[in-house]
C-alpha cells in the first residue's frame, strides 16, 4: 500500500478508537434515555385510544401501523401484561 494509504488507514483506525473511547462508557445510559423518549412517543401515538385527548391524533393515527412491531414490548414495559386494546392482539 502507498504511504498515503497507510496514513489514511492509520487516521481511520485512530478515529475508530477515539469514537469507541468516547461512546463505550455511556452507550447503555444513552440507549436507556432513547428508549424512555420512544416510550413517551408511543404513549402520544396511542393516547387517544386510551381516553387521553390528543389534538394531533389525526396525524398520529397514521403512525400506528409503523409502530405495531414495537407495540408488544412497549405495553409489557409499561406494566400491562396483555395488550390493552381489543383490536391489537399481539399476545
Instruction: Examine residue 4 and tell whether it contacts other proteins (CB under 8 A).
Output: no
Instruction: Examine residue 20 and tell whether it contacts other proteins (CB under 8 A).
Output: yes
Instruction: Assign 3-class secondary structure to the chain.
Output: CCHHHHHHHHHHHHHHHHHHHHHHHHHHHHHHHHHHHHHHHHHHHHCHHHCCCCCCHHHHHHHHHHHHHHHHHHHHHCCCCCCCCCCCCCC
Instruction: Examine residue 7 and tell whether it contacts other proteins (CB under 8 A).
Output: no
Least CB distance to other proteins at residue 62 (A): 27
Judged by CB under 8 A, how many residues of this single chain contact other proteins?
Answer: 18
Instruction: Examine residue 78 and tell whether it contacts other proteins (CB under 8 A).
Output: no
Binding site for other proteins (CB under 8 A): 11, 14-15, 17-22, 24-31, 33
Amino acid at each position: 500500500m502507498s504511504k498515503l494509504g497507510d496514513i489514511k488507514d492509520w487516521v481511520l483506525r485512530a478515529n475508530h478508537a477515539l469514537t469507541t473511547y468516547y461512546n463505550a462508557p455511556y452507550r447503555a445510559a444513552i440507549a436507556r434515555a432513547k428508549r424512555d423518549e420512544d416510550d413517551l412517543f408511543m404513549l402520544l401515538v396511542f393516547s387517544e385510544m386510551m381516553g387521553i385527548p390528543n389534538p394531533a391524533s389525526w396525524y398520529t393515527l397514521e403512525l400506528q401501523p409503523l409502530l405495531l412491531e414495537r407495540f408488544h414490548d412497549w405495553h409489557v414495559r409499561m406494566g400491562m401484561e396483555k395488550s390493552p386494546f381489543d383490536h391489537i392482539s399481539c399476545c
